Amino acid sequence: MKSMKMPKIAAEKIPAHVAIVMDGNGRWAKERGLPRTAGHEAGEAALFDVIEGAIQIGVKEISAYAFSTENWRRSPDEVKFLMGFNRDVIRRRRDEMHAMGVRVRWVGRPKRLWSSVINELEEAETLTAKNKVLTLNMCVNYGGRSEIVDAATALAKDVKRGKVSAEKVTEKIFAKYLDQPQMRDVDLFLRSSGELRTSNFLPWQSVYAEFVFMDVLWPDVDRTTLWKAIEEYSHRDRRFGKA
Ligand code: FPP
């Protein structure tokens, strides 16, 4: 880890919820003449260092984009690797997460997802359900538009059944139908690798997020990268539509 002291930032300037697009694993591997999968493997340490650094600085919730509904378009070998890798990481890191007081939650669609991955996610959710230090939303087979479409479908069914009146649907009611209704709005949205896109990650929750795009490939990220982004965030003027 690089040596950088944790910046001193007032508690109200620390983002409660940080969403992270962990991009650049493939390029990191390519630069080293390694297979893309080696980049994903190297990305594991980055994620867990960021989680520790988040706890130290007082972040309450992290959403990590581990596999998107669009990632099924990758080569069958890479998809297979990413499925197995997600399953193994969740299993291997479960006790460590629990010991740190991390509550793990799965956010995403069951459709197509390997049942062994779902089983590991559910085991981790059950084990860590009462933890309060930090919530880690593992976004596996997650897509922002599919989350909104699924919510609209479920809501339409409730309207048809007479449980909800169509005229009375508010943002608050709609949000109850999202994958994780308790999820906070995103305060800080991070993406590594220099790409300037959100790639279908948490659109509903990020409408007032501050964006920081980091010019570093995901495997080279650590807690100091997070702290630097939070420092930048702490200087932003968040107005939420007010003058
Ligand atoms: C993007 O890199 C990464 C993903 C497709 C998500 C997978 C993320 C990890 C494996 C990191 C750690 C995750 C866990 C579960 C510990 P890319 O392949 O798009 O890179 P590229 O843009 O350079 O090709």
Ligand 1 centre distance from Cα of residue 83 (Å): 12
pLDDT tens-digit profile, the chain (243 residues) = 556 899 999 999 999 999 999 999 999 999 999 999 999 999 999 999 999 999 999 999 999 999 999 999 999 999 999 999 999 999 999 999 999 999 999 999 999 999 999 999 999 999 999 999 999 999 999 999 999 999 999 999 999 999 999 999 999 999 999 999 999 999 999 999 999 999 999 999 999 999 999 999 999 999 999 999 999 999 998 889 987
Residues 6+ apart with CB under 8 A from 130: 103
Q: Where are the beta strands (DSSP E) in the chain?
A: 17-21, 61-68, 102-107, 134-142, 188-191, 210-213
SS3 state at 134: strand
Atom of ligand 1 nearest to the CA of 138: 15
Q: What is the dihedral of CA 55, 176, 115, 63, to 10 degrees?
A: -20
Query: What is the residue whose two structure tokens read 């059950």?
Result: 126
Catalytic residue among 23, 179, 187, 222: 23
- Domains defined for the chain, CATH in brackets: 13-142+185-233 (3.40.1180.10)
| Angle subtended at Cα 214 by Cα 124 and Cα 69, rounded to the nearest 5 degrees | 45
Ligand 1 centre distance from Cα of residue 238 (Å): 30
Question: What pLDDT score was predicted for residue 2?
Answer: 56
**103 near 132, Cβ under 8 Å?**
yes
Question: What pLDDT score was predicted for residue 1?
Answer: 54
Bridge pairing between strands 188-191 and 134-142: unpaired
